[in-house]
Structure 1
Amino acid sequence: MSKAAIAEKEKFVDAFAEELKAAKAILVIDYLGLTVEEVTDMRKELRENDVKMKVVKNTYLRRAAAKAGIEGLEETFVGPTAVIYTDNAEDITEPARIVSKYEDNYDVIDIKGGMLEGKLTSKEEIKELAAIPGREGLLSMLVSVLQAPVRNFAYAVKAVADSKDESAE
């Protein structure tokens, strides 16, 4: 292998290591068996939610993870592997939600493991995280909870007013 090719690969590993170091959420999946159209759809949805997906040779993954200081994911770098990651600190659950949805729809996707905010995460933990509503869903729940006392008070006042109207007649 030429020195130029080695230098190019080393440059790629360094750049990918920097991306992994900045990532708040990293998922490692096996996607083999998806059609090109299905992978394209998944990539599009990931991109729309500020999530990246890269298919990288396991050798490069090991080197990039080591350079990024990520330990514990090495056993997931076996077989066909795609890495899904985001540096969006506002919603680290989005990659898990999207991948989990695709895993439920297509039996061929397998979540191997991941890392959330520097902590190793199992497939089961990722599936639990995916069940949590997103930021928008949580905000709408909060608004509903905050509105409930006012709404209940309004219903009580209306009920009292209606009962007085009925007794006046």
Structure 2
Amino acid sequence: MDRAQKTELVAELNRTFAEVGAVIVTRNLGMTVAQSTKLRNAMREAGASYKVSKNKLAKIALDGTDYLSLGDMLTGPVGLATSVDPVAAAKVAVEFAKTNDKFEIVGGAMGATVLDVDGVKALATMPSLDELRAKIIGLLVAPATKLATITQAPAAQLARVLQAYADKDKEAADA
């Protein structure tokens, strides 16, 4: 890699660190290409990304971002899982670590807040932004649904009473 490529990679990583809500640092202990592809696909489906980078370049890219404290975690063969939704990358990383013994979570950060392994696991148990949005919409729609049900109930009862009188009159007329 020449100097221009390194500069471009550092700039790209710096842009990524400036845009994301969370960075999860993982250690790759000899994963196969198929396993790495599976991890990247799972990250992509969740709206996250996974990138292996040279530690020195990643440390340079951390300058000027909220994730400067991650520099101590960048030792050995590490990968960086990032996502705008702070929960997405953590969920995928924790699930993948459960099924693959060659992949471990080192730590992470949400902005300036540094997370250890337990912090990343706790973050993974939280609902994602989409799940929270769905709950809020459900809470907003529920009163309207209940109101519609309540206002329809008296009319339905009245219709049943009128139908019962009509059936009774019809039976009397037939007899």
TM-score range with shorter-chain normalisation? Answer: 0.7 to 0.9
C-alpha contact 1:46 1:52 (8 A) present in aligned 2? yes
Asked if 1:23 is matched to 2:17, the reply is no
C-alpha contact 1:14 1:67 (8 A) present in aligned 2? no
1:13 maps to amino acid: V
Q: How many residues align?
A: 149
Q: Which runs of 5+ in 1 are unaligned?
A: 155-169
Asked if 1:39 is matched to 2:42, the reply is no
Q: With the length of structure 2 as denominator, give the TM-score of the two structures.
A: 0.71
Q: Which one of 70, 78, 93 corresponds to residue 81 of structure 1?
A: 78
Alignment of 1:85-164 (within 5 A): 85-86=82-83, 88=84, 91-138=85-132, 143=138
C-alpha contact 1:24 1:118 (8 A) present in aligned 2? no
Distance, in Å, in 1 between the alignment partners of 2:82 and 2:16 is: 9
Q: Which one of 48, 52, 71 corresponds to residue 51 of structure 1?
A: 48
CA separation of 1:67/1:5 partners in 2, compared to 1, >3 Å: closer, same or farther? farther
CA separation of 1:66/1:135 partners in 2, compared to 1, >3 Å: closer, same or farther? closer
Q: Which runs of 5+ in 2 are unaligned?
A: 151-175
Provide the secondary structure at the position in 2 that maps to 1:78.
Answer: coil
Using the aligned pairs only, state the percent identity. 23
Distance, in Å, in 2 between the alignment partners of 1:62 and 1:70 is: 10
Report how far residue 85 of structure 1 moved. 0.7
Distance, in Å, in 1 between the alignment partners of 2:96 and 2:71 is: 24
Distance, in Å, in 1 between the alignment partners of 2:121 and 2:79 is: 17
1:113 maps to amino acid: G
Provide the secondary structure at the position in 1 that maps to 2:80.
Answer: strand
Q: With the length of structure 1 as denominator, give the TM-score of the two structures.
A: 0.73
Report how far residue 7 of structure 1 moved. 2.7
Report how far residue 84 of structure 1 moved. 0.8
Provide the secondary structure at the position in 1 that maps to 2:58.
Answer: helix
Report how far residue 40 of structure 1 moved. 0.6
Report how far residue 67 of structure 1 moved. 4.3
2:106 maps to amino acid: K
2:34 maps to amino acid: E
Report how far residue 11 of structure 1 moved. 2.4
C-alpha contact 2:73 2:107 (8 A) present in aligned 1? yes
Distance, in Å, in 2 between the alignment partners of 1:134 and 1:22 is: 17
Q: Which has the larger radius of gyration?
A: 2
Provide the secondary structure at the position in 2 that maps to 1:112.
Answer: strand
Distance, in Å, in 2 between the alignment partners of 1:83 and 1:140 is: 29
- RMSD across aligned positions (CA): 2.8
The aligned counterpart of 1:159 is none
Deviations 1:85-116 (A, max 9, x none): 12x2xx32011001000011112211111111
